Amino acid sequence: YYLVYAAGGVPEHMAYSTAKNINGPWKYQGRIMNEAENSFTIHGGSIEFKGRNFMFYHNGLLPNGGGFRRSTAIEEFTFGENGEIPFIPFTKEGVRTPTANLNPYQRVEAETMAFGYGLKTDRLPGNNHYLTSIHNGDWLRLRAVDFKNGEANHVVASLPKVRAGGTIEFYVDNLGGKPIAILPVAPTDKKQQEWQADIQKKVAGIHDLYLLFRGGDDELFDFDWWQFK
């Protein structure tokens, strides 16, 4: 059994202990991450996914970040020959190789992202969730999106609630230049409504995809899922 935990008081670093029984006794095995950068907490934990091991933690390095405005980070690691967790250095890149390519022609949950700015996920119970607290200038980025031969003609987005309205702009590889699609959203009292926009520029192959949200000063809408068709 492995117990990974924030250690050292404030500021925290990451350490781990092991035991042959879940009730102990537990043996301290050492530090595996240094103190979090620009944050007094680190709050980490590890998972195994598709045969690879990842360590999650947080820091305060994004714009306006700090001890109370923290951002999720992730590093990949490999267990040692005897099952030990190695010391894991911080990187700005995080996971370098995606575990798979993302298929935009299937429904993609809005909370799926590699990076995001200004967004929150609802706190409802269950497995169905959506993005909320969306304001002008917020954005998200997805890695390794496989557009295949570029057969999409339009993009569809499902919004459970529209407040002030605005647009969802889709960019390939970076937020510069012209978007490949602009999806306008108008205020409405209807719940869980689907909105659609034409693809203005065909895209083929594997690219990063950015979704940029624009509108007025108020909260714009909630965002459930999107799909290219």
Q: What is the pTM of this model?
A: 0.84
Q: Position 97: which residue type?
A: T
C-beta neighbour count of 105 within 10 angstroms: 13
- The mean predicted confidence, pLDDT, of the chain is 95
Q: What is the pLDDT of residues 60-82, one digit of tens each?
A: 998 889 999 998 999 999 999 99
Q: What is the pLDDT of residues 215-225, one digit of tens each?
A: 999 999 999 99
Q: What is the pLDDT of residues 106-119, one digit of tens each?
A: 999 999 999 898 99
**DSSP-assigned states of every residue in 64-92:** T-BTTB-EEEEEEE---TTSPPPP----S
Question: 71 with 58: CB under 8 angstroms?
Answer: yes
Alpha helices in 32-172 (DSSP H): none
155-139-227 Cα angle (round to 5): 20
pLDDT at 192: 84
pLDDT at 62: 85
For 108-228, the fitting CATH number among 2.60.40.10, 2.60.120.260, 2.60.40.2130, 3.90.226.10 is 2.60.120.260
Question: 57 with 1: CB under 8 angstroms?
Answer: no
Question: CA 223, CA 86: separation in Å to the nearest integer?
Answer: 39
Q: What is the pLDDT of residues 148-202, one digit of tens each?
A: 999 899 999 999 999 999 999 999 999 988 999 999 999 888 888 999 999 999 9
Range(s) within the chain of domains with CATH label 2.60.120.260: 108-228
% of the chain exceeding 90 in pLDDT: 88
Mean pLDDT, to the nearest integer, of 123-139? Answer: 95
> Residue 175 pairs with which residues in a beta bridge?
none
